[in-house]
Structure 1
């Protein structure tokens, strides 16, 4: 049986706090990501970073997308810290996040401890140019083409909120 696709970051472990450099309170750059155990038949990868706890984890009302990237070549073994269009692997395209930008937008939740899901999808196709595709449009385009999936979860609450919550608290 093949190993499942694995997604990691050398800067934080699954379930840990995301370092401030990768947030709206820090440098607002993307964390470095690495993956292993690519499924056979993978023709491209897609990455969606989303927060299902917006705006308040005690009463979530939407899933907020922070980064939408697709057509990452399967030869790529990760994305570098601070990935911008000029350093993304050749062929990779960025869709539009809920900040209405085509780049990474780091966490900066208004209240509470939020969960940030970094979801990597292995696809059996290279997608057409979807332009400024939203998370929803990318998910629709990927339907029927996902051959593997991996997930990395990071946590974050604003620094000035941390006195009221334990940084290791489990979000609602």
Structure 2
């Protein structure tokens, strides 16, 4: 009886693990696919911010040094000043070419950037963020610093570095999840803008480590 009950528990665990694996599967998006819409598209703003980076031009290739393949160095980001009512800025970086759990892959978020800050220096260390600002979630969890591209083999991916000017300072709990962050931002966005970079697999990257053999 105990053995039979144990077998049932194992089967249930394997079924749950399989369901989670399917849910977490990363798939490539298709042009115009609604699920591939980024935060800028889902939360349009009347005002416009011009966002640039010294690392690449809009629509250009992201240097490998700014990816997880080689150093994961922050590329730097500059944007034009928001409207007079701006109380803080938020940044959301997404890969719209790949979907995980039905949404663009979330690489980096930062919120409560002071209204007098319109520049983040290249190579910014994780602990050198502007005073009062906080890291939000990315695909690895909450409160994560810049996590650059690690584009899989195949076509180049589109990475959106979007900046939002907000008329509010967000509560700390806004950084728990992407849904919490965007819900707190909704109806408070005065202006937004983005710079888009292209990422690809590093041809010099070593092959992935072999997966361990399944237990017998």
TM-score w.r.t. the length of structure 1 is 0.83
Question: Is 1:130–2:181 an aligned residue pair?
Answer: no
Cα distance, 1:85 vs. partner? Answer: 4.2
Q: Which structure is higher in strand share?
A: 1
1:51-70 alignment runs, 5 A limit: 51-54=95-98, 62-70=103-111
Q: CA deviation digits over 1:78-126, x for unaligned, max 9?
A: 1122333421111000012102261111101223210000010000000
**Partner SS, residue 139 of structure 1:** helix
* Aligned counterpart, 1:91: 132
* Aligned counterpart, 2:74: 30
Structure number with higher relative contact order (C-alpha < 8 Å, ≥ 6 residues apart): 1
Q: Tell me which of 164, 178, 192 is aligned to 1:149.
A: 192
**Partner SS, residue 173 of structure 2:** coil
**Partner SS, residue 130 of structure 1:** helix
> Please, which moves more after superposition, 90-99 or 133-142?
133-142
Q: Tell me which of 73, 89, 92 is aligned to 1:48.
A: 92
Q: Over aligned residue pairs, what C-alpha RMSD do you find?
A: 2.3
Query: In the aligned structure 1, how far is the partner of 2:165 from the partner of 2:150?
Result: 28
User: Is the 1:53–1:62 Cα contact (8 Å) retained in structure 2?
Assistant: no
Larger radius of gyration: 2
User: Is the 1:95–1:130 Cα contact (8 Å) retained in structure 2?
Assistant: no
Question: Is 1:71–2:115 an aligned residue pair?
Answer: no
Q: Which structure is higher in helix share?
A: 2
**Partner SS, residue 89 of structure 1:** coil
1:149-168 alignment runs, 5 A limit: 149-160=192-203
Structure 1 residue runs of 5 or longer lacking an equivalent are 162-172
User: Is the 2:82–2:190 Cα contact (8 Å) retained in structure 1?
Assistant: no
Q: CA deviation digits over 1:125-152, x for unaligned, max 9?
A: 0011126422222111101100000110
Query: In the aligned structure 1, how far is the partner of 2:47 from the partner of 2:191?
Result: 10
The count of corresponding residues between Structure 1 and Structure 2 is 157
**Partner SS, residue 48 of structure 2:** coil
**Partner SS, residue 160 of structure 1:** coil
